[in-house]
Each structure stands twice: as C-alpha cells, then as structure tokens.
Amino acid sequence: MTVKLNEKDKRMLQGEYGKATKLAMSILVRMAEVYGAEEMMDVALAHIDGVGLLSEASLEFAETLATLGGRVAIPTTLNMVPLDIQQWEKWKIPEDYAHRALRQIRAYINMGCIPTCTCAPYQGYLTPRFGQQIAWAESNAIVYANSVLGARTNRYGDYIDICAAITGRVPKYGLHLKANRRGQLLLRLVDIEPAWMKSDTFYPLLGHFLGRTAGDKIPVIEGLPAQVTDDQLKALGAAAASSGAVALFHAVGVTPEAHTLEEAFQNEPPEGVIDVHPDDLVAAQKELSTAEADAPLDAVVLGCPHFSFTEFQQLAQIIQAQGGQSIHSGVQFVVLTNQLTLSLLQRSNLITLLTSFGIQIVLDTCDFHCPILHSETKVIMTNSGKQAYYAPGELGVQVALGTMADCVRSAIKGRVVRSETPWTES
C-alpha cells in the first residue's frame, strides 16, 4: 500500500529539510508501509528510549543523525541513560564505556532533546495531556501515558523514537486512533479486600497477572479503588508492560477513558471475562520471587520505574519507624531516580535521613544498563514487579519481591524478610 504523504512529508523525504530529516522520514514511511498505515499524522511530544542502551550501533546512529544536522521538531524528553551523569566515577564504570555513553547523551542533547534522563517522564516535566498525540518509547512510560493520562501513543521502539522527534510525524495507526483504544478483556477483582489494595505489592502483582493474561490486548479492570495513587498505577502498568505487551489498560472509574464499563468497551461486549482472585496474586508473587525466604540479602533496589518524591516520603517514614537502626553492613541499598526529584529532595528535610540510613541515590540510569550493583551480588530485593521480572535474566541474581517496608526491614537484618501473602506485613 502506498502511504499518503502531505506536501511537507514529501519535501522532508526529498531532503529539503536536511539529510537527517530525510533519513528519519524515510524510516518512518517504511514503518508506515509495514504497519499498513494509510497516512502520516502529527505528534506533539516525543520521549527517547534509544539513548539508554549503549552499543556501537546506537552511538553511531545518534552521532550520524546529529552530524547530519538532526534537530528535534517537537519537545522531546530523554529516558534513562547508560550512567549517572554526575557521579559515574563513584560506580567504578570503565572509562571507555563512560566516555562513549557521554558521547551518546551529548548527541541527543545536541539534537535539542531535553536531558530529563528518566524512565518516569510522566512524573516530571512536560507531562502529556488527555487526547494529545505523542510518540513515546519505554514500555512503562507508554502504558502510563495511554492509560492514566489518556494521551495517545503506540509502543515506539529505540531509533524510531528519534525519527518521530525529528519529523514530528508518525504513521497513523494503532493506539493513535480512538477505535483501537476500546477495551478487549474484562478483569473483575473478586474477594479482594479493599485493605489489601492499600499494600504497595498489590499493584505490581496485579500488573504481572494482567500482563500474563492480557498479552497485547487491552484489559479493563473493574474494582480498583478511586483513591488509587499515581505511584500505584505506575507500578501496575510497569509490571503489566513487562510480563505482557500491555500498552493501554482501563480502570473503571479511575482512568480517563473509562468513566463507565460501557465507555471502556466503547459500547461493545468484552471478548472475554477473567476473575482475579487472591490466589492469583499469591501465585504472581511466587513467580516473581525466586529467592528463598530468609536468604542472605546482598542488595535492595527501589525506583523501577524511577522513584517519585512521594515514594521518597514513604520510604523516609518507614525508615523513621525503625528507631535509628541502619542497613546491615553486607547490604547495598540503591534507589534509582532522576535529577528533578533529587532537587526536590535537596530542598526537603529528607535527604540527610535517607543517606545516613545508608541509601545510595542513583540518578539518570538503571541497574540493568549500568554496573551499579556490586559484582558479587547474588540476591536482591525490590518492591517493583518490573525489576523482579527482569533481574534474574539481566543481572543473573535471585529476587525477592516485597513491600517497601519489607525491603527496609530486610536491609537492616541482612536477609530476606517477607510475609507469605503479599498484603500482610512481615
């Protein structure tokens, strides 16, 4: 099928806007052909994941575009990058790796990207609006933008993201179109006490189940409390986009395209109905927890996706409740976040409490892309479904998934301390 191009698209393809734009547009037109899109459309914002993974090819691609005069046409934020820009020396990162990573980041900044360096761009700068057409990469950011904010993006991948940013155009298909945002599967929460939904492990476990069950379909959740927080929805979406390819979920009475069940399904019947029982969540926790209870603990990793200021406030409260105890000498306690949140922390009264407890605050990056954890790390603990899902494969470690409070108590004791059911405190 030939893609219908407007005059500006054609001029971009012919090179009138420079070589980088020509290259970016030719990649996007090819993508439109692959997906069977009939035409191109404008996007208002972009978020770049391609800056995070460092390889010879990724560096060459970014530097080539920048050298060819590539410039983003729309406000464009950066995802996490391959190192903590300010304090990478502290993490014993090989100099050659660091210099190539810094060159890659510089190439994107030179193209006009905003160096937010976070995988939670929706909790910072340039949060998309309801209905806004955007081109975002990074799976957890995509599902949050679509589901919680009601912005519209497909699951853009590395390198297509910067092409969309340079041209401000994408193929018109998929989740950019309202008809394709209709709910497909109904998930009903059954026998789950409202109190359980306050536990911070409830959301990653539900997300893990959601991803496993829905795959790439659009699930509609019935039964979530209206008071669910942004951080809880962040945890749910990140887990669902890891165990499955969920790019959009609706939660009836919570998310903006699902005021009612009928609205979520656009007045069509669901393709299937699945009941979620407490046992499903217990099973999800077992699946995500490969470490034995009581196993010696090497590290705690929080902030996957990047920690928000309100999550730091919760963590500080939990630490305060431990009555001055500090982290076990054999445990590394890492919290991943971004520069914006750190500046809020530095203005608050929390930073001294957190660092004197022994917490290492890591900016801009991710433990899967940067060697932050000690090389001898064998067992980690986290409250993140996404971290728990990928860590065995990415880091070769065993994982325990628990609440934030479980993580703090385990860090103090130096071993995994966790309740058997996800919603009771240990």
Please choose, from the candidates 384, 182, 199, 202, the residue with its C-alpha nearest in 3D space to the C-alpha of residue 276. Answer: 202
End-to-end CA distance of the chain: 59
Smallest distance, Å, CB 371 to ligand F3S?
14
Q: Which residue is nearest to ligand F3S (CB)?
A: 366
DSSP code of 133? Answer: B
- Of 21 and 337, which CB lies nearer to ligand F3S in the complex structure? 337
- Of 70 and 82, which CB lies nearer to ligand F3S in the complex structure? 82
Smallest distance, Å, CB 242 to ligand F3S?
8
- Residues near 57 by Cβ (< 8 Å), separated by ≥ 6? none
Residue 311 near residue 348, CB atoms below 8 Å: no
- How far is 319 from 314, CA to CA, in rounded Å? 9
- Of 73 and 304, which CB lies nearer to ligand F3S in the complex structure? 304
Smallest distance, Å, CB 80 to ligand F3S?
5
- How far is 138 from 49, CA to CA, in rounded Å? 6
Smallest distance, Å, CB 380 to ligand F3S?
13
Smallest distance, Å, CB 81 to ligand F3S?
10
- Of 205 and 238, which CB lies nearer to ligand F3S in the complex structure? 238
Q: HSE on the CB side for 305, CA within 13 Å?
A: 33
- Of 140 and 243, which CB lies nearer to ligand F3S in the complex structure? 140
- 379-382, strands of its sheet edge to edge: 359-363, 332-337, 299-302, 379-382, 398-401
Smallest distance, Å, CB 391 to ligand F3S?
9
What torsion, rounded to 10 degrees, do the Cα atoms 314, 318, 320, 326 define? -120
Sign for the CA dihedral angle at 26, 31, 36, 42 comes to negative
- Of 366 and 407, which CB lies nearer to ligand F3S in the complex structure? 366
> Which residues are near ligand F3S by CB under 6 A?
80, 119, 140, 238, 304-306, 336, 366, 368, 386-387
